[in-house]
């Protein structure tokens, strides 16, 4: 076997092994995205109803509370960025990071200081490489987040929103995550969690011809909002974590399918090149045999004379 043919054989073997890996990863991601999608669907009603309850309390009382009251002059904002712990997901992480950087630039243009909180090793690595300040980060659960993980993320954010800005608190809380639209579409979006915009929720409610119920508050509306504040933040973060996990698995499935298809095309191309090299080697051997036979025949004819 010629040297060139051995090179092709070695490359075909290597690409075939890679194709098996990417195919396996595609199948794993496809199974995980279905489970994550179910969790997203299951968590959405709770988050929606909790938001409606908070809206009803906010519109039914005149209580000044950080959950529903905007600061007259907002000077500091917190941005929570959700990324993944692992790569091999196409532009999933880069799109979320770009959305966070765009939001940060807009807030800074408004004269606000920005405190960044990050979930996922990929986002943290991006900010650490560029020596950007990160207040707090979490990792290790992005593929399969639980409600307990959402509670851990929510604790410092709630503490920050309850503090005065002079003491290191924030006036606003924003979250950047990737929304799962479908298996083929995932969109990086930013949303303001706190303070809750009662007007926007009221418009959404009126568009559905729904009427918010009237409540009697005991002991007070402020105590009710104090109880709802951590639940609201936790539920919204949990839903965003699930959306991000489902989007990551879908992006991984799509990236691995593309890698598998490309590996198949490369194997086909290498096989054709190997066949051409083998054919050229056979042709050369035949030419050498024919040439040797002709030379031997000439030598025999010369000796006969």
CATH number of the domain encompassing residue 9: 1.10.287
Both 161 and 281 in a single domain?
no
Number of domains in the chain: 2
Task: Give the CA distances from residue 246 to residues 85, 186, 276, in Å, rounded to whole numbers and listed in that order.
Answer: 14, 9, 45
By residue range, what is the domain housing residue 292? 3-22+258-296
Burial of 252 (0-12, 13-18, 19+ CB in 10 A): buried
Residues 75 and 47 in one domain: yes
Residue 285 forms part of a structural domain: yes
239 burial (CB, 10 Å; 0-12 / 13-18 / 19+) is buried
Is the same domain home to 234 and 203?
yes
Closest CA relative to residue 180, chosen from 235, 128, 254: 254
C-alpha dihedral sign at 159, 161, 167, 168: positive
**Which residue's structure tokens are 């194709």?**
19
Q: Kindly state whether residue 301 falls inside one of the protein's structural domains.
A: no
Sign of the four-CA dihedral 170, 47, 180, 69: negative
Q: Are residues 156 and 291 in the same domain?
A: no
| Residues 155 and 177 both lie in one domain | yes
In a domain, 305, yes or no: no
Q: pTM for this structure?
A: 0.80
Q: What are phi and psi of 175, to 5 degrees?
A: -130, 135
**pLDDT (tens digit, 0 to 9) for every residue of the chain, 305 residues total?**
567 788 888 888 998 999 999 899 889 888 888 888 888 888 888 877 777 777 767 665 666 666 666 767 778 899 999 999 988 888 899 999 999 999 999 999 988 899 999 999 999 999 999 999 999 999 999 989 999 999 999 999 988 888 887 788 888 899 999 998 888 888 999 988 888 765 555 555 444 555 655 666 677 767 777 777 788 888 889 999 999 999 999 999 888 988 899 999 999 888 888 888 788 777 877 877 877 777 777 667 666 55
Same domain, 56 and 94: yes
68 and 41, same domain (yes or no): yes
């Amino acid at each position: 076997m010629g040297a060139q043919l051995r090179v092709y054989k070695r490359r075909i073997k290597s690409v075939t092994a890679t194709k098996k890996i990417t195919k396996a990863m595609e199948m794993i991601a496809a199974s995980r995205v279905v489970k994550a999608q179910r969790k997203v669907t299951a968590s959405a009603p709770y988050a929606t109803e909790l938001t409606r309850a908070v809206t009803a309390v906010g519109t039914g009382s005149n209580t000044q509370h950080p959950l529903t009251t905007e600061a007259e002059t907002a000077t500091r904002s917190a941005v929570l960025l959700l990324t993944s712990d692992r790569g091999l997901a196409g532009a999933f992480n880069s799109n979320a990071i770009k959305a966070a950087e765009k939001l940060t630039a807009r807030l800074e243009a408004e004269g606000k200081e920005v405190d960044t909180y990050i979930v996922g090793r990929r986002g943290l690595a991006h900010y650490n490489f560029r020596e950007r300040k990160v207040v707090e980060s979490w990792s290790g659960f992005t593929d399969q987040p639980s409600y307990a993980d959402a509670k851990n993320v929510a604790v410092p954010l709630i503490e920050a929103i309850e503090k005065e800005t002079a003491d290191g608190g924030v006036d606003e809380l924003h979250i950047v995550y990737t929304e799962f639209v479908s298996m083929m579409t995932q969109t990086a979006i930013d949303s303001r969690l706190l303070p809750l915009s009662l007007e926007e929720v009221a418009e959404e409610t009126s568009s559905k011809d729904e009427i918010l119920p009237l409540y009697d508050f005991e002991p007070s509306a402020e105590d009710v909002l104090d109880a709802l504040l951590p639940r609201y933040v936790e539920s919204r973060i949990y839903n965003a974590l699930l959306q991000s996990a489902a989007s990551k698995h879908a992006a991984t499935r799509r990236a691995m399918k593309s890698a598998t298809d490309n590996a198949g095309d490369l194997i086909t191309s290498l096989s054709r090149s190997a066949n051409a090299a083998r054919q050229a080697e056979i042709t050369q051997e035949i030419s050498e045999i024919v040439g040797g036979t002709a030379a031997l025949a000439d030598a025999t004819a010369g000796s006969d004379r």
